[in-house]
Amino acid sequence: MSWSPETQSFLKHSPPPAASPPARGSSQSPAPKSQFTHRHLLQLAAFYASCPLRVVAHMDIDCFYAQAEMIKRGITPEKPFAVQQWQGLIAVNYAARAFGISRHTTATEAKKLCPALQCQHVATWKEGDDKWAYHDDAAANMATHKVSLDPYRKESRSLVALVKENLPPHLQRVEKASIDEVFLDLSAHVHAVLMQRFPELSGPPPSDDPDERLPMPSVLGLHWQDDLLVGIDDGETTAELEDPDWDDVAMNIGSEIMRGLRTEVRRRLGYTSSAGVASNKMLSKLGSAHKKPNSQTIIRRRAAQNFLSGFKLTKIRNLGGKLGEQVCMAFMTDMVVELLKVPIEQCRHRFGDDTGTWIYNVIRGVDHNEVNPRTQINSILSAKSFRPAINTTDQAIKWLRIFVADVHSRLVEEGILENRRRPRTISLQHRHGSQARSRQSAIPQGGPLDHETLLDLATNLLGQLSLEGGVWPCSNLSLTVSGFEEGVRNNTAIDSFFPKGGHVLPMAPPVALLKPGTSRAAEEDSTGPAPKRPRRPDGIERFFPPKGVQKTKGGQSMLGRPSGKQPGQQQRGLSDAYVRDEYMSDEPASRAPANHQQTPVAPGYTCDQCDAGFETGTELQCHQDWHFAKELQDQEGRVRPRVARNAAPTTHAPDNTSNSQHGAGASSSSSSSRRPGRPKKTEPGQGRLNFEPFE
Ligand code: TTP
Ligand code: CA
Ligand code: CA
């Protein structure tokens, strides 16, 4: 829906709703009025994040991987069932949870707690295979298997497609929040239903004043069916609400929409789910986790503060990491109910005006984050942690082959064969002891992006890392393709190889092509007959970088091509975060204990905004807090160094430099050592909020 500039300005200048509506039937006000106005209604139709009638829902599938496997195998919900990864459990159904089994239980312990428990190991890629499969012996063969989450990704796609199909196309905003979750901004949909059911709302304001209050709703009570309705004070209720105002009616319509949607998910895909319906993302997410499985929780505006009072601060979205910890330390409590006593001035004094105000508001249930209707992925990662570490190039290449098969099969799902979507960048991350390094290069845009091309590019990157030494033993490798372009025609990007003079610009070609006697130009000129691909050299010679390729320096690509933004290429900014499945690493994102012969394996956590890799969920959370705080700051467009200057949570923290790495530069590198111009690492005790812009 698009609004004229006049309408937009009209919508923006909205006074907040009155604190409370005038009493019904009071002598001063014979015709009872709502606390909401005609302007609020228009804001609702236009998805205004600050609209007090806003309705946002969050839906999360119950014990997702477990249900996925159970549905596939026709196992009924009352049978205890868990999904296993190596010796740990990564999803446990509710029948098994009744025996005290959780994601922290090992498969062996779980069997003791419930001998009838059925465990299914996740599908794996077996070393040497070119397709994932369910292997009975996977748990005992961690060194030669790599987890495939393809079955769950496929289900996740069906879920998002079904949700979108079942909401009116022009009134929906769907954000895929993780592999089994979506946020929905139901505002415009709810507005349409309101107009249909309450024709008295559809006319212009009688006095032409948009700030004129609406009449009170012509309903005496609202029915919430089986939903859990969070109460205004202690206790929860499913009872009707007397004297509802329009925000309650809007929420009631939202809950009806969600009930219908969840029923459809159950009917068509077989999954039970839980949902939270509230006025914003933060509350709706807390709501969906409040009562599981197969339930939905409604948090009306008037119940928000009561609902939040019982939570620890760190349970609130974006406060689960360092920022949350700092707030708890600053005010000596982690309970929201206590933090509600802290005056706004103190919050601002400790955390700066913007962040302080945000903290003050969020614990009161105020959150104006938009539901971001991205449902497409913008990067694909395949990774493996090695215990024991690997020590040779041959071993590494075996894994690169698997990564390539994994990434390629997902590229096919993204439409690579039809040139619907195509990534621009490939990167290889490597871990040796505590040192993490990565190399990336552009993906040539002409010609097919097949296994062989991907393997050449990946092997080339490994070669570049090898040249620097310090590669073995290697404890983790991961391959990422990112920066997807939409609707790439077969040869569209080939044009970009030809500068005005008609010379071919080289783009990180496979190493083999740079061996003496091979013609790079002939190979890349896919407008002519395809030349026969030269034999790939074996052994270490593969790892020497092409002639003329140097490490990135001063914005120049490794091939001397400027790595800046290319014409027509979209610059990737912080707001362009892509949707990525939560648990894409080979290891359980948890806490799942390692098997008895092996030391625990650090899960590979990757930031969905900048590709930075982390070993633990806490590190990732802390890093994401940094993004979040910076985004807040950027939104304000102001810079107020208070707590710390230029502080970033890790050396991976994104800045302009790392964003530009996602550009079309032919090749670039990054490592965990600090580079000039990068933000300094936080000192112990130093805060991390408020930033100066990066030059
Ligand atoms: P969750 O939604 O966190 O959990 P769940 O769906 O299993 O259970 P719940 O009913 O409480 O929502 O995660 C979704 C899937 O992601 C989960 O089924 C398995 C995977 N996962 C991991 O592999 N490791 C983890 O640490 C977590 C939290 C999830
Ligand atoms: Ca879930
Ligand atoms: Ca989830």
Q: What is the 3-state secondary structure (H, E, C) of 338-382?
A: HHCCCCHHHHHHHHCHHHHHHHHHHCCCCCCCCCCCCCCECEEEE
Looking at residues 324-350, what average pLDDT do you find?
96
Does some domain include residue 368?
Answer: yes
- 475 and 402 part of one domain: yes
User: Which of 369, 160, 373, 157 shows the shortest CA–CA distance to 261?
Assistant: 160
Does some domain include residue 626?
Answer: no
- 421 and 570 part of one domain: no
Nearest CA to ligand 1 atom 26: 590
Does some domain include residue 21?
Answer: no
pLDDT of residue 391: 95
635 Cβ contact partners less than 8 Å away, ≥ 6 residues apart: none
418, burial (CB in 10 Å: exposed 0-12, middle 13-18, buried 19+)? exposed
Does some domain include residue 15?
Answer: no
- 79 and 141 part of one domain: yes
Domain of 405, CATH number, reads: 3.30.1490.100
Total count of domains within the chain: 5
Cα–Cα distance measured from residue 103 to residue 106, given in angstroms and rounded to the nearest whole number: 8
pLDDT one-digit tens code per residue, 212-242: 999 999 887 888 999 999 988 765 554 555 6
672 pLDDT more than 50: no
DSSP state of 223: -
pLDDT one-digit tens code per residue, 148-163: 999 999 999 999 999 9
Domain of 134, CATH number, reads: 3.40.1170.60
Its domain, for residue 46, covers 31-55+186-307
Minimum mean pLDDT among 177-186, 299-308, 371-380, 683-692: which range? 683-692
How many residues would you count in the chain? 695
pLDDT of residue 237: 54
User: Which of 129, 162, 130 shows the shortest CA–CA distance to 59?
Assistant: 162
User: Which of 226, 359, 227, 361 shows the shortest CA–CA distance to 288?
Assistant: 227
Cα–Cα distance measured from residue 681 to residue 618, given in angstroms and rounded to the nearest whole number: 17
- Given pLDDT bands bounded at 50, 70 and 90, which one contains residue 23? very low
Nearest CA to ligand 1 atom 6: 63
Domain of 226, CATH number, reads: 3.30.70.270
Ligand 1 binding pocket includes 94 (Cβ within 6 Å) = no
- Given pLDDT bands bounded at 50, 70 and 90, which one contains residue 540? very low
Q: At residue 196, what is the residue type? A: Q
- 213 and 300 part of one domain: yes
- 265 and 322 part of one domain: no
State whether residue 403 is helix, strand or coil: helix
- Ligand 3 midpoint to CA 343 (Å): 34
Nearest CA to ligand 1 atom 8: 63
- 416 and 330 part of one domain: no
- Ligand 2 midpoint to CA 179 (Å): 9
Helices (H) and strands (E) in the chain, counts: 19, 25
Q: What is the average pLDDT score of the chain? A: 74
Looking at residues 538-567, what average pLDDT do you find?
31
- Ligand 3 midpoint to CA 149 (Å): 15
Does some domain include residue 128?
Answer: yes
pLDDT of residue 599: 25
Alpha helices in 436-530 (DSSP H): 451-467, 520-524
pLDDT of residue 378: 83
Looking at residues 290-296, what average pLDDT do you find?
97
Which range, 254-263, 386-395, 483-492, 522-531, has the best average confidence (pLDDT)? 254-263
pLDDT one-digit tens code per residue, 598-628: 222 223 454 555 445 554 455 555 555 555 5
- For 203, the token pair is 């006319």
Nearest CA to ligand 1 atom 15: 64
Looking at 620, 652, 673, the residue that finishes a domain is 620
Cα–Cα distance measured from residue 483 to residue 443, given in angstroms and rounded to the nearest whole number: 10
Cα–Cα distance measured from residue 252 to residue 667, given in angstroms and rounded to the nearest whole number: 53
- 580 and 601 part of one domain: yes
Minimum mean pLDDT among 18-32, 36-50, 574-588: which range? 574-588
Looking at 620, 638, 664, the residue that finishes a domain is 620
Ligand 1 binding pocket includes 462 (Cβ within 6 Å) = no
Does some domain include residue 399?
Answer: yes
Ligand 1 binding pocket includes 147 (Cβ within 6 Å) = no
141 pLDDT more than 50: yes
- 209 and 297 part of one domain: yes
Ligand 1 binding pocket includes 586 (Cβ within 6 Å) = no
- For 356, the token pair is 């302080």
pLDDT of residue 374: 73
Looking at 252, 277, 307, the residue that finishes a domain is 307
Looking at residues 94-110, what average pLDDT do you find?
97
Q: Percent of the chain scored above 70 by pLDDT?
A: 64
Looking at residues 166-183, what average pLDDT do you find?
96
Looking at residues 90-95, what average pLDDT do you find?
98
115 pLDDT more than 50: yes
- For 177, the token pair is 């929040």
Ligand 1 binding pocket includes 566 (Cβ within 6 Å) = no
Does some domain include residue 285?
Answer: yes
- 130 and 278 part of one domain: no
- For 394, the token pair is 């041959």
pLDDT of residue 219: 86
pLDDT one-digit tens code per residue, 38-83: 999 999 999 999 999 999 999 999 999 999 999 999 999 999 999 9
- 407 and 473 part of one domain: yes
- 292 and 197 part of one domain: yes
- Given pLDDT bands bounded at 50, 70 and 90, which one contains residue 559? very low
Cα–Cα distance measured from residue 40 to residue 35, given in angstroms and rounded to the nearest whole number: 10
- Given pLDDT bands bounded at 50, 70 and 90, which one contains residue 583? very low
- Of 627 and 426, the one with more pLDDT: 426
Does some domain include residue 414?
Answer: yes
Q: Percent of the chain scored above 90 by pLDDT?
A: 56
- 361 and 284 part of one domain: no
Ligand 1 binding pocket includes 589 (Cβ within 6 Å) = yes
